[in-house]
Amino acid sequence: MKKRTAKLVMSEAAQRVLLAFHLKLPKKTKDLVRFYERKGEPQTYLSLGEDASFIAEEYYGTLATLKTIGKNRNLLDTVTVNQQKFVLVIRDLLLVKRYRIELYTIIKERVKNKWKLAKYASPGNVRQFEDLLFNGEPSGDGSDSSMISLSPIVMSIKLGRVQDKRLLGISFCDSTLHTIGISEIVDNDQFSVLESLCVQIGAKECLIYDNKKLSQEMEYDLKKINEILLKCNIVITEKPKKEFNTNINDIEPDLKRLATKKTNILPLFDQITALGSLQCLIKYLSLLNDEANFGTFRITTFDPMCYMRLDATALEALNLFPSKKEQFQLQKSLTNSSNFAFNNSSLLNSTNLLGLLNKCKTKMGSRKLVLWIKQPVIDKKEIDRRHSIVEAFVEDAGMRCLFRDTHLRTMPDILRIVKRIQRGSAKLIDVVRLYNVSKELVRMKETLLSFEGEQLELLNRAYISILDKFIKPLSKFQKMIEMVIDLEKTEDHQYLINYQYEEELEELYNKRVQVAGDIKDHAKKIKNSFKSLSADKVLFEKGKGTNYYFRVTKVNQKHLKGDRKFIVLESRKNGVKFTTKKLTKLNQESEEIEEKYEKKQQEVVDQVVRVCKSYSTIFDIVCELISEIDVLASFATIASDSVLPYIRPKILEMGKGTIILKESRHPCLEVQEDVNFIPNDLRILPDSCFLIITGPNCFGKSTYIKQIGMIVLMAQIGAFVPCTEATISIRDCILARVGAGDRQLQGISTFMAEMLEASSILKTATKNSLIIIDELGRGTSTADGFGLAWAISEYISTKIGSATLFATHFHELTALESKISSVKNLKVTSTISENTITPLYKVEPGSSDQSLGIRVAELANFPKSVVEKAKEKHEELQLKKNNSILLDNVPEFKESSEMEIEDNTKSKEIEKEIGKELIFQFLNKFKSTQFDRLSPRQTFDLVIKLKKDLLGENNSYIKEILKNSENFEN
């Protein structure tokens, strides 16, 4: 790294004031970045100390950009960020990295300058930076923004009890789109319903109790909730419990102020616990501090059970959205370049389902698609409706192209424009964009009416009738805009009020024209007044505002001398600027008229915006309509442009238990370059719903089970699927246990993570669920891992009956097929020759008895001694296998065993393994503590805390061990 020696250009006095303020600030958390605003031309922002180093490395890729401020002990690094870069940096910090931001600005108090906090933002509370983070510019490509899956949603949770069950009151808000939702859920001790809800709403931040004066039971629940939030990558903000107030007298007037006129708030009071969380949320977002928020929020109840539920593991395992790595790489490339535009190919590519499906032309459509992927529907009528509209767009390529290339191509972000209008911060350009939208609706209706397929009646109900309803009232809106705004000037990107609209404005306009003419005449007269200097040598120029002046070169300066009518303004290398008394007077007159004109024009603009506000409800509905058309047309484009067929799946009611796919393909992998994807079939029926897939690594097991999950989800959001034939009964949730990763930041080992996820699946799954399990039991010993895999497989197949795809290396699990009728075995195939092993990526009935690890080691030229030893050990293990040692180790997992797993209780074996892991962690913490450095009191407090943490896990295995140990518990 380059050594920094340069000093920041700032006066010593200003440096002292800034440093004194900075050093007195409270110690910041790791996820907080502070900026200092330097007003001027151009406007820039500073970061100091460790923040400066972080910004320099992360967004400039070098410490060479750092300069220093201060002297001696107070010498600090600093980095300067320009306005354009600042926008990109805060977008990344807030919406991708999920940091908090503080922005300080300097104000004048009496005779002194003083720094003060001007703005604050967190991942879910970006209101004060909203204008920088989001805009309503039409892009012609809704997939051009990396922000589409990163809406700043903040949620709040209040804990309660109902009939001795866990009750969670939840509220969530997107303050940029003015939407609020509330929900009350009864959850299990793994909080699996909460996890699904977090995925469905896409929260970035959560308000939760701080850990003060809580009961032991509530502390345990709070710890589990925090684990779920971290698993879902949600930033946790702690608040005092008293802020989650459920007093109706406090919350009712707040709701009345915030809700739109059409919002019925009475049903909200049936969920009083959720309203307690909303009280905290409203205060945190300071929604009542801004009167522009009053009457603008859509407040609704939200039921997570109305949609297919996804856990956080399924979200990641199925590659539904760009990974964190992809998001970080894109943002880094953006902030390290001067290119302000977002590059679609960088983030939203075909490595994830969103990237594959997002061919939307509008930002509204892209947001809708994100929502649909997180909230697949379980209503057959709605799924069929979406499929039929997609089918119409597939069949009529002309209609599809007209929408995508004409109607939607220049469509602005209507919702964000409407919100600016409601806040009173809209400009004339926003009004003109809504005018253009209203004109386009007529053409959209004509295009829809030109369709001649069997879905015309559906299109009429879904879109044409709605457009008919609004085209007439919007014609009045159009007439108003045509009368008030000078639309001809908009072609040159000038957005002005038509001066003829208002008498006073017209009078000021005429005066402005008159003064401009007088200035022009005076300039001509002066230029021609020089006897020995041609007129073209005297330049007439405009400075700031309306101020005009003359300029001659230094050589011709002599022509000004001796003439009292000329007043020299300044002399520089590029010449001498001068004016006259009359020009000074005309400039002043012009400035006064311009000021009055702008003031009057702004009054008219404010009136226009207020009138536009009355059309907000119409444009909200239009926004929903256009965004849905955009998504469904995008689905049709994917299906039509695909080289291999995408077909409309046949959807069966929930409970039919059937998933039949012919020649199914992984939608993301098949479009990768140089990939020749091998299609595979799937047949899941009510009497054969548990499929065990065996075979070597990298031969397609994981890909196969993931593609099934993606296809089912695609079908339930309304998309066509990559198969030649598909029959799918609706699933209430997709649950996944994939990979063998740990959660080091939470102190959770690989095996513990496996067991927690498996336990959550057992508590959440129903017979209508789809479960995807990949390599369960690999985080512990072979015998223990196999035993648990057997027990869980047996329980799911006999007690729950979910459609399950279980990929495993435990070939012994295939013995379940002969014991349980619903279990069927599948294998991935390969061919083996003398020097090669060729995966065929074909899934066929049967079980794989091949272990190719040693063969692969031979082909990789491992030392012969190592290979021979491996063969020897392999033969020993095969002998043990033949003696059924593994199977003999799991009598308790067979149907005749004592294992009694019920729908809402933990598996004893899972509880036992989790308990062992917790005890191991407890002993490790105890062993690693340096008691010789602690006082007796500190030692006592630490031991009490360790004991409290262990008992707080509420593990039945630990309770069983300690039930006779009075001294430990007391």
Question: Do 169 and 270 have their domain in common?
Answer: yes
- Model confidence pLDDT, tens digit, residues 510-558: 999 999 999 999 999 999 988 888 888 999 999 877 789 999 999 888 8
Q: Taking a C-beta distance cutoff of 8 angstroms, is the pair 350, 356 a contact?
A: yes
Average pLDDT for the chain: 85
Q: What is the pLDDT of residue 140?
A: 52
C-alpha span between 72 and 69 (Å, rounded): 10
Is there a domain that residue 872 lies in? no
Question: Do 415 and 503 have their domain in common?
Answer: no
Least confident of 447-461, 725-739, 767-781: 767-781
- Model confidence pLDDT, tens digit, residues 569-582: 998 888 999 999 99
Least confident of 34-43, 722-731, 759-768, 941-950: 941-950
Phi, psi values for residue 740, rounded to 5°: -130, 50
Q: What is the pLDDT of residue 339?
A: 41
Question: Do 573 and 666 have their domain in common?
Answer: no
C-alpha span between 768 and 587 (Å, rounded): 78
C-alpha span between 616 and 963 (Å, rounded): 64
Question: Do 661 and 786 have their domain in common?
Answer: yes
- CATH number at 106 reads 3.40.1170.10
- Model confidence pLDDT, tens digit, residues 795-841: 999 999 999 999 988 888 899 999 999 999 999 987 777 667 777 88
C-alpha span between 169 and 271 (Å, rounded): 7
Q: Taking a C-beta distance cutoff of 8 angstroms, is the pair 125, 170 a contact?
A: no
The yes-or-no verdict on residue 325 having pLDDT over 50 is yes
Least confident of 269-278, 346-355, 636-645: 346-355
- Model confidence pLDDT, tens digit, residues 717-756: 999 999 999 999 999 999 998 865 545 445 566 677 777 7
The yes-or-no verdict on residue 699 having pLDDT over 50 is yes
Is there a domain that residue 816 lies in? yes
- Model confidence pLDDT, tens digit, residues 700-718: 889 999 999 999 999 999 9
Q: What is the pLDDT of residue 643?
A: 87
> Which H helix or E strand runs over 615?
none
Is there a domain that residue 100 lies in? yes
Is there a domain that residue 461 lies in? yes
Q: What domain range is 633 assigned to?
A: 364-491+612-641
Residue 890 — very low, low, confident or very high, per pLDDT cuts 50/70/90?
low
C-alpha span between 737 and 601 (Å, rounded): 62
The yes-or-no verdict on residue 902 having pLDDT over 50 is no
Question: Do 487 and 506 have their domain in common?
Answer: no
Strand partners, 168: 159, 185
- Model confidence pLDDT, tens digit, residues 545-555: 778 999 999 98
> Which H helix or E strand runs over 448?
helix 428-449
Q: What is the pLDDT of residue 834?
A: 67
Question: Do 431 and 543 have their domain in common?
Answer: no
Question: Do 941 and 962 have their domain in common?
Answer: yes
- Model confidence pLDDT, tens digit, residues 589-607: 999 999 999 999 999 999 9
Q: pTM for the full model?
A: 0.83
Residue 868: Cβ-neighbour burial (10 angstroms; 0-12, 13-18, 19+): exposed
The yes-or-no verdict on residue 790 having pLDDT over 60 is yes
The yes-or-no verdict on residue 176 having pLDDT over 90 is no
How many C-alpha atoms does 333 have within 13 Å on its Cβ side? 13
Question: Do 591 and 631 have their domain in common?
Answer: no
Question: Do 671 and 812 have their domain in common?
Answer: yes
Question: Do 460 and 410 have their domain in common?
Answer: yes
- Model confidence pLDDT, tens digit, residues 604-644: 999 999 999 999 999 999 999 999 999 999 999 999 999 89
Is there a domain that residue 789 lies in? yes
- CATH number at 459 reads 1.10.1420.10
Question: Do 485 and 515 have their domain in common?
Answer: no
Is there a domain that residue 903 lies in? no
Question: Do 659 and 636 have their domain in common?
Answer: no
Last residue of some domain: 79, 106, 121?
Answer: 121
Q: What is the pLDDT of residue 785?
A: 79
Is there a domain that residue 902 lies in? no
Q: What is the CA radius of gyration of the chain?
A: 34
What Cα–Cα distance (Å) separates residue 303 from each residue in 201, 503, 710, 767?
11, 55, 23, 20
Quote the number of domains for the chain: 6
The yes-or-no verdict on residue 901 having pLDDT over 50 is no
Strands (E), 44-132: 44-48, 67-69, 76-82, 100-109, 112-121
Q: Is 158 helix (H, G, I), strand (E, B) or coil?
A: strand
Section 289-308 average pLDDT: 92
- Model confidence pLDDT, tens digit, residues 479-490: 999 999 999 999
The yes-or-no verdict on residue 255 having pLDDT over 60 is yes
The yes-or-no verdict on residue 317 having pLDDT over 80 is yes
> Which H helix or E strand runs over 7?
none
Section 493-521 average pLDDT: 93
Q: What is the pLDDT of residue 193?
A: 93
Q: Is 958 helix (H, G, I), strand (E, B) or coil?
A: helix
Q: What is the pLDDT of residue 904?
A: 40
* Residue 802 identity (one-letter amino acid): S
Is there a domain that residue 334 lies in? no
Last residue of some domain: 820, 849, 878?
Answer: 849
Q: Is 47 helix (H, G, I), strand (E, B) or coil?
A: strand
Last residue of some domain: 121, 142, 165?
Answer: 121
Q: What is the pLDDT of residue 345?
A: 43
C-alpha span between 388 and 375 (Å, rounded): 19
pLDDT above 70 coverage of the chain, percent: 84
Q: Is 579 helix (H, G, I), strand (E, B) or coil?
A: strand
Phi, psi values for residue 136, rounded to 5°: -105, 25
Contacts 24+ apart (CB under 8 A), 31-34: 31/98, 31/99, 31/100, 31/235, 32/99, 32/100, 32/101, 32/102, 33/93, 33/99, 33/100, 33/101, 33/102, 34/101, 34/102, 34/103, 34/104
Strands (E), 225-367: 235-239, 298-301, 309-310
